[in-house]
Structure 1
Amino acid sequence: MLEIVTVDAFDDAAVDTWWDAYAEARRADMGEHALVWTREERRAELQQPPVTTEVRAYVARRAGVVVGSGSLTLSLKDNLHSAAIGVNVPPQHRRQGVGIALLAYVEAEAVAAGRTTMRVDILWPASAPDDGAGQPNREFARRHGYEIAIGDLQSRLDLPVADDVIDGLRAEAPESDGYELYAWRGPVPEQFAAEWTALVAVLDTEAPMGDLDIEAATADVEDLRADEELFVRQNRTSFGTVAVAPDGSVAAYTQIVVSGDDGNAYQWGTLVRREDRGHRLGMRVKLANLWMLQRESPQTPRIYTFNAESNTHMLAVNTRLGFVPTARLAELQKRI
């Protein structure tokens, strides 16, 4: 008989078995291109006080053996209509009804929390069709009412990038137009914190969003500081760069986060304010941040990033930097 239970975030053994099922399923699906949050990163996320976001974990057990894992992420300040769902079943336990049962259970939990839009992210190899046709996870999601709201590319940049490549790209961007760049390692400096959070808050709605049913997030410096404290517990290091306009306001930002556990760097948000576009600020802040990363963390072997396939401008920037596609990610959506 299949049993689904909520994982106690402070029960180390329970979290370990939940993570094991998650990691095994991801690696089976994506092989060398699987991106898996480490055990301790996910443990810290589950244990984070539910102030801005609540994360719940579930396991499916049969005869005492964990055969699948699930997750539910609920924003507590904005997008109160939506829920992010994860379902992972190791290959040896598939086609036994585990995924169906887990999905139904987590959806019911989301509905009980008042959510009406369910979101799921799935990946498949870059060599597969753009729409994931024939991929087992895509076909499973389709059967349960999930359709692609937007398609993304997962890309990788092997480090280091030669200084002459960075310098050559820098030479193409104007530097005499009054914008100044500031870069740092660690928490966002206080003088930039409010405007940084304002840009981060609108990232999802300013970037291509396809058919995603989302609204801009809440901008709150206290939430930023809470996220930075979580980084410390997750053994992550943030590298940030902003472009400051002639009037002193923050016109663009970018952020790379390095995992101290798996060693990789992950490109998080990059955004240029609408009124400041046309100055190649996206390229300029990314180059400055990359240059800093390579000097502050020379042991970092690669950077991973995700971009909407419709975001041709940012994909062109990444191609110039040397990123290569490694997988496709679909952001799926279902309204209940």
Structure 2
Amino acid sequence: MRAALQILRVDPFDAADHDRWWHAYAAAKHADMGEDALVWTLEESRAEMQQHSATTERRTYVALRDGAVVGAGSLALGLKDNLHAAALGVTVPAEHRQRGVGSALLAYIEAEARDAGRRTFRAETAWPAAAPADGSGQPGIDFARRHGYALALGDLQNRLTLPVPDRMIAELLHEAPHEAEPTTVPESASPAAGYDIRSWVGPVPEEFVAEWAALDAVLDTEAPTGDLDIEAGVADVADHRADEALQQAQGRTSFGTVAVAPDGRVAAYTQLVVSGDDGNAYQWGTLVRHEDRGHGLGLRVKLVNLRMLQQHSPHVPRIYTYNAESNAHMLAVNTRLGFVATGRLGELQKRIG
């Protein structure tokens, strides 16, 4: 007779509790995606879970059978925006699947989300790039659909092997509308066509941080959203600085570039973040404000930021990024740079009222 399943909330300050949660989470991710699995490292996850955040309440859970961890779960609740929604995660290592573990974990975490007053549940699942775009036949998608989740937005996971030859970066910069291009890092460029490009390593300079935070807050709603029930975030400099402090605690290094418009405001921004644990770079936000679109600023700031990364950290082996499959323009740019598709990500959603 199979032993009963027990689900417990993890104490992030208990090293053993957190570690066994993480190992189950990582094993499940690698079972689905192999070497292309993008997994937050043990210490990055620990730092995030231990952060006293003003913007997000985070919880993790383990499913136990006979005292052994057979599944891992997570719940994230926004505290300042998207108060109707919850982000749920369920990960079960391959050897424990098809035994009711995932269903029990999901039901438990959904109940926690409902108790917190949330009515829209969001989740993610990944599968290989060669599989169908709708995830048909993939375990994560099939599991989600059986439990009432729909695919709200499909993304491509792409990888760029570094270094990109500087001549290629220069060629693409030359093709873009000729705003300013910095020749040294992190000095500002001489203005051309009215825009000034500024780059730096580390925290956002004080002169730009308020507008950076404002652009970053609307990134999720300015990018393709598909059928996602999502609201723009709340822009707050103190919250942004808290996120930077978390990055430092995680051993991550941020590379930022902005385009400054003639009116002195930030017209576009982009960010690459390098993990201190796995050594890879990850493309975070890129956005151009509405009134400055059509000038090639998004491409330009990404190229300048890439060049800075390679100059400052030449041993970073690769960059990973996600783009909505509907974002044809950005995917075309990534293809020209040499990005190759390594997986797909399904952003899932379930409404309960």
TM-score (norm 2): 0.94
Aligned counterpart in structure 2 of residue 142 of structure 1, from 132, 141, 145? 145
Give the C-alpha shift of residue 29 in structure 1.
0.6
Mapped to 2, the partners of 1:61 and 1:299 lie a distance apart of 41
Amino acid at match of 1:108: A
Q: Distance in 2 between matches of 1:86 and 1:264?
A: 23
Structure-2 separation of matches of 1:94 and 1:127: 23
Q: Which amino acid aligns with 2:303?
A: L
**Residue of structure 2 equivalent to 1:83:** 86
Q: Secondary structure at the match of 1:115?
A: coil
Query: What secondary structure does 1:262 align onto?
Result: coil
Q: Which residue of 1 aligns with 2:162?
A: 159
Cα separation, 2, equivalents of 1:163 and 1:45: 35
Separation in 1, partners of 2:338, 2:56: 34
Which of 172, 175, 179 is the aligned partner of 1:172? 175
Query: 3-state DSSP class of the match of 1:213?
Result: coil
Q: Tell me the C-alpha RMSD between the 2 structures.
A: 0.6
Do residues 211 (structure 1) and 227 (structure 2) align?
A: yes
Write the letter of the residue equivalent to 2:291. Answer: E
Which amino acid in the other structure matches residue 261 of structure 1? D
Match of 1:228 in 2: 244
2: CA distance between counterparts of 1:130 and 1:198? 33
Q: What are the residue-to-residue correspondences of 1:185-264 with 2, within 5 Å?
A: 185-264=201-280
Aligned to 2:13: 10
- SS of the aligned residue for 2:137 comes to coil
Asked if 1:325 is matched to 2:319, the reply is no
Does 2:103 align with 1:100? yes
Per-residue CA shift, 1:227-263, capped at 9, x if unaligned? 0000011111110000001111100000000000011
The CA distance in 2 between the partners of 1:333 and 1:40, in whole Å, is 29
2:201 and 2:344 map into 1 onto residues whose CA distance is: 30
Q: Which secondary structure does the structure 1 equivalent of 2:235 belong to?
A: coil
Q: Which residue of 1 aligns with 2:184?
A: none
1:45 aligns with 2:48: yes
Cα deviation, 1:13-36, whole Å, max 9, x if unaligned, reads 000000000000000110011000
Distance 1:313 1:35 in 2: 24
Q: Which runs of 5+ in 1 are unaligned?
A: none
Q: Tell whether 2:77 aligns with 1:74.
A: yes
Identity of aligned residues (%): 70
Counterpart of 1:274? 290
Aligned-residue offset at 1:50: 3.2
Aligned partner of residue 318 in structure 1, secondary structure: helix
1:295 aligned onto 2:298: no
SS in 1 for 2:224: coil
Deviates more, 1:175-184 or 1:249-258: 175-184
Alpha-carbon distance in 2 for matches of 1:223, 1:50: 8
Instruction: Give the Å deviation of 1:96.
Output: 0.7
Q: Match for 2:255: what amino acid?
A: F
Return structure 1 stretches of 4+ with deviation > 3 angstroms.
Answer: none
For the residue of structure 1 that corresponds to 2:61, the secondary structure is strand
Deviations 1:300-325 (A, max 9, x none): 10000001111111112211211111
CA deviations on 1:263-290 (whole Å, 9 max, x unpaired) are: 1000000001111011100110001100
